[in-house]
Structure 1
Amino acid sequence: MKVLSASARYRWAVLSRVLAASLGGYAFTWAAIVLLALLWPLPRAQAVGLATMLGFLIYAAVAMWVFATRSAWRAWAGIVAWTALFAALGWWLMQGAAT
Protein backbone atom coordinates (compact mmCIF):
# COMPACT_ATOMS: atom_id res chain seq x y z
CA MET A 1 0.00 0.00 0.00
CA LYS A 2 1.41 3.33 -1.05
CA VAL A 3 1.47 6.11 1.52
CA LEU A 4 0.40 9.53 0.25
CA SER A 5 3.00 12.25 0.20
CA ALA A 6 2.51 15.45 2.14
CA SER A 7 1.65 17.27 -1.07
CA ALA A 8 -1.02 14.72 -1.99
CA ARG A 9 -2.55 14.82 1.50
CA TYR A 10 -2.68 18.61 1.32
CA ARG A 11 -4.42 18.47 -2.05
CA TRP A 12 -6.99 15.97 -0.77
CA ALA A 13 -7.61 18.18 2.27
CA VAL A 14 -8.18 21.21 0.04
CA LEU A 15 -10.52 19.20 -2.20
CA SER A 16 -12.43 18.05 0.87
CA ARG A 17 -12.80 21.64 2.06
CA VAL A 18 -13.96 22.78 -1.38
CA LEU A 19 -16.62 20.05 -1.38
CA ALA A 20 -17.61 20.92 2.20
CA ALA A 21 -17.93 24.60 1.29
CA SER A 22 -19.88 24.00 -1.91
CA LEU A 23 -22.06 20.96 -1.26
CA GLY A 24 -22.19 21.09 2.53
CA GLY A 25 -22.64 24.85 2.46
CA TYR A 26 -25.56 24.48 0.07
CA ALA A 27 -27.27 21.92 2.30
CA PHE A 28 -26.64 24.00 5.42
CA THR A 29 -27.97 27.14 3.75
CA TRP A 30 -31.07 25.32 2.52
CA ALA A 31 -31.83 24.03 6.01
CA ALA A 32 -31.23 27.46 7.54
CA ILE A 33 -33.51 29.15 5.00
CA VAL A 34 -36.33 26.69 5.68
CA LEU A 35 -35.95 27.11 9.43
CA LEU A 36 -35.83 30.91 9.27
CA ALA A 37 -38.84 31.06 6.96
CA LEU A 38 -40.83 28.95 9.41
CA LEU A 39 -39.74 30.88 12.50
CA TRP A 40 -40.21 34.48 11.38
CA PRO A 41 -43.58 35.97 12.34
CA LEU A 42 -44.21 37.43 8.89
CA PRO A 43 -46.61 36.49 6.11
CA ARG A 44 -45.28 33.31 4.47
CA ALA A 45 -44.19 34.96 1.20
CA GLN A 46 -42.29 37.71 2.99
CA ALA A 47 -40.62 35.27 5.39
CA VAL A 48 -39.48 33.06 2.51
CA GLY A 49 -38.20 36.05 0.52
CA LEU A 50 -36.31 37.49 3.48
CA ALA A 51 -34.83 34.11 4.44
CA THR A 52 -33.76 33.49 0.85
CA MET A 53 -32.01 36.85 0.63
CA LEU A 54 -30.26 36.15 3.91
CA GLY A 55 -29.26 32.77 2.49
CA PHE A 56 -26.65 34.41 0.27
CA LEU A 57 -24.89 35.79 3.33
CA ILE A 58 -25.22 32.48 5.17
CA TYR A 59 -23.67 30.57 2.27
CA ALA A 60 -20.74 32.97 2.06
CA ALA A 61 -20.18 32.80 5.83
CA VAL A 62 -20.24 29.00 5.81
CA ALA A 63 -17.74 28.87 2.93
CA MET A 64 -15.37 31.18 4.81
CA TRP A 65 -15.81 29.20 8.02
CA VAL A 66 -14.94 25.92 6.25
CA PHE A 67 -11.57 27.30 5.22
CA ALA A 68 -10.95 28.88 8.63
CA THR A 69 -11.34 25.66 10.64
CA ARG A 70 -8.32 23.63 11.75
CA SER A 71 -9.11 20.58 9.67
CA ALA A 72 -11.39 19.40 6.92
CA TRP A 73 -12.80 16.83 9.33
CA ARG A 74 -13.97 19.57 11.72
CA ALA A 75 -15.52 21.46 8.82
CA TRP A 76 -17.48 18.40 7.70
CA ALA A 77 -18.49 17.53 11.27
CA GLY A 78 -19.76 21.03 11.94
CA ILE A 79 -21.69 21.29 8.69
CA VAL A 80 -23.28 17.86 9.04
CA ALA A 81 -24.24 18.43 12.69
CA TRP A 82 -25.76 21.88 12.19
CA THR A 83 -27.49 20.91 8.95
CA ALA A 84 -29.06 17.88 10.63
CA LEU A 85 -30.21 20.01 13.57
CA PHE A 86 -31.70 22.73 11.37
CA ALA A 87 -33.37 20.19 9.06
CA ALA A 88 -34.85 18.31 12.02
CA LEU A 89 -36.18 21.51 13.57
CA GLY A 90 -37.62 22.61 10.23
CA TRP A 91 -39.27 19.24 9.72
CA TRP A 92 -40.69 19.34 13.25
CA LEU A 93 -42.08 22.85 12.74
CA MET A 94 -43.64 21.88 9.40
CA GLN A 95 -45.31 18.87 11.02
CA GLY A 96 -46.74 21.14 13.70
CA ALA A 97 -47.96 23.63 11.11
CA ALA A 98 -49.68 20.89 9.11
CA THR A 99 -51.91 19.85 12.01
Structure 2
Amino acid sequence: MSSTPFTPPSRLHVVARIAAAMLGGYAFCWGFVALFIASMFAAGMPFHDAESLSYMLAFLHFLGVFLWAVAARSLARVWGVLAGGGALMTAAAWLIQRALL
Protein backbone atom coordinates (compact mmCIF):
# COMPACT_ATOMS: atom_id res chain seq x y z
CA MET A 1 0.00 0.00 0.00
CA SER A 2 1.35 3.42 -0.97
CA SER A 3 1.83 6.11 1.66
CA THR A 4 1.86 9.08 -0.72
CA PRO A 5 -0.51 11.87 0.28
CA PHE A 6 -3.54 12.70 -1.84
CA THR A 7 -3.18 15.81 -3.98
CA PRO A 8 -6.41 17.25 -5.31
CA PRO A 9 -6.64 17.83 -9.08
CA SER A 10 -6.15 21.32 -10.46
CA ARG A 11 -9.09 23.44 -11.58
CA LEU A 12 -8.03 23.04 -15.20
CA HIS A 13 -8.08 19.26 -14.86
CA VAL A 14 -11.56 19.36 -13.32
CA VAL A 15 -12.86 21.61 -16.12
CA ALA A 16 -11.24 19.37 -18.75
CA ARG A 17 -12.80 16.28 -17.15
CA ILE A 18 -16.26 17.87 -17.07
CA ALA A 19 -15.87 19.03 -20.69
CA ALA A 20 -14.87 15.52 -21.72
CA ALA A 21 -17.85 14.03 -19.91
CA MET A 22 -20.34 16.52 -21.35
CA LEU A 23 -19.06 17.20 -24.87
CA GLY A 24 -17.44 13.84 -25.51
CA GLY A 25 -20.44 12.05 -24.05
CA TYR A 26 -22.73 14.06 -26.31
CA ALA A 27 -20.66 13.23 -29.40
CA PHE A 28 -20.55 9.55 -28.44
CA CYS A 29 -24.31 9.40 -27.89
CA TRP A 30 -24.93 11.30 -31.13
CA GLY A 31 -23.05 8.57 -32.98
CA PHE A 32 -24.88 5.88 -31.02
CA VAL A 33 -28.29 7.33 -31.90
CA ALA A 34 -27.41 7.76 -35.58
CA LEU A 35 -26.03 4.22 -35.85
CA PHE A 36 -28.91 2.66 -33.94
CA ILE A 37 -31.60 4.39 -36.00
CA ALA A 38 -29.88 3.54 -39.28
CA SER A 39 -29.32 -0.09 -38.25
CA MET A 40 -32.83 -0.67 -36.98
CA PHE A 41 -34.41 1.02 -40.01
CA ALA A 42 -32.24 -1.10 -42.31
CA ALA A 43 -33.37 -4.19 -40.36
CA GLY A 44 -37.03 -3.34 -41.05
CA MET A 45 -38.14 -1.44 -37.95
CA PRO A 46 -40.33 1.61 -38.68
CA PHE A 47 -38.28 4.83 -38.54
CA HIS A 48 -40.16 6.54 -35.71
CA ASP A 49 -40.08 3.40 -33.56
CA ALA A 50 -36.32 3.11 -34.08
CA GLU A 51 -35.93 6.81 -33.31
CA SER A 52 -37.93 6.62 -30.08
CA LEU A 53 -36.14 3.51 -28.88
CA SER A 54 -32.72 4.97 -29.69
CA TYR A 55 -33.45 8.15 -27.72
CA MET A 56 -34.57 6.16 -24.70
CA LEU A 57 -31.44 4.01 -24.84
CA ALA A 58 -29.24 7.05 -25.47
CA PHE A 59 -30.39 8.61 -22.19
CA LEU A 60 -29.10 5.58 -20.27
CA HIS A 61 -26.06 5.38 -22.51
CA PHE A 62 -25.13 9.00 -21.81
CA LEU A 63 -25.43 8.45 -18.07
CA GLY A 64 -23.04 5.49 -18.22
CA VAL A 65 -20.58 7.30 -20.49
CA PHE A 66 -20.67 10.39 -18.28
CA LEU A 67 -19.93 8.40 -15.14
CA TRP A 68 -17.13 6.49 -16.87
CA ALA A 69 -15.59 9.74 -18.14
CA VAL A 70 -15.50 11.15 -14.61
CA ALA A 71 -14.11 7.95 -13.06
CA ALA A 72 -11.54 6.95 -15.70
CA ARG A 73 -7.85 7.41 -14.91
CA SER A 74 -6.66 8.82 -18.22
CA LEU A 75 -8.28 11.95 -19.59
CA ALA A 76 -6.63 11.36 -22.97
CA ARG A 77 -8.19 7.90 -23.16
CA VAL A 78 -11.59 9.37 -22.31
CA TRP A 79 -11.33 11.92 -25.14
CA GLY A 80 -10.03 9.27 -27.54
CA VAL A 81 -12.79 6.78 -26.83
CA LEU A 82 -15.63 9.29 -26.77
CA ALA A 83 -14.63 11.47 -29.73
CA GLY A 84 -13.21 8.59 -31.77
CA GLY A 85 -16.10 6.27 -31.01
CA GLY A 86 -18.63 8.97 -31.79
CA ALA A 87 -16.95 9.73 -35.10
CA LEU A 88 -16.74 6.03 -36.05
CA MET A 89 -20.38 5.37 -35.20
CA THR A 90 -21.49 8.46 -37.12
CA ALA A 91 -19.47 7.35 -40.14
CA ALA A 92 -20.93 3.84 -39.93
CA ALA A 93 -24.45 5.29 -39.75
CA TRP A 94 -23.72 7.45 -42.78
CA LEU A 95 -22.57 4.38 -44.73
CA ILE A 96 -25.70 2.44 -43.78
CA GLN A 97 -27.96 5.34 -44.75
CA ARG A 98 -26.11 5.75 -48.04
CA ALA A 99 -26.57 2.05 -48.79
CA LEU A 100 -30.34 2.35 -48.20
CA LEU A 101 -30.76 5.08 -50.82
Q: TM-score, normalised on structure 1?
A: 0.85
The gaps in structure 1 that reach 5 residues or longer are 1-5
1:73 aligns with 2:76: yes
The gaps in structure 2 that reach 5 residues or longer are 1-6
Tell me the CA shift for residue 69 of structure 1: 1.2
Higher relative contact order (CA 8 A, sep 6+): 2
Question: Aligned partners of 1:79 and 1:27: how far apart in 2?
Answer: 7
1:28 aligns with 2:28: yes
Question: Aligned partners of 1:34 and 1:94: how far apart in 2?
Answer: 10
Question: Aligned partners of 2:95 and 2:82: how far apart in 1?
Answer: 20
Question: Aligned partners of 1:97 and 1:32: how far apart in 2?
Answer: 18
Aligned-residue identity in percent: 34
Q: TM-score, normalised on structure 2?
A: 0.83
Tell me the CA shift for residue 92 of structure 1: 0.6
1:88 corresponds to: 91
More helix by share: 1
Cα displacement string for residues 46-94 of structure 1 (whole angstroms, at most 9, x for unaligned residues):
0011001111001101101101211211111111111111011011111
- Secondary structure of 1:70's counterpart equals coil
Say which of 61, 65, 87 aligns to 2:64: 61
Question: Aligned partners of 1:81 and 1:33: how far apart in 2?
Answer: 15
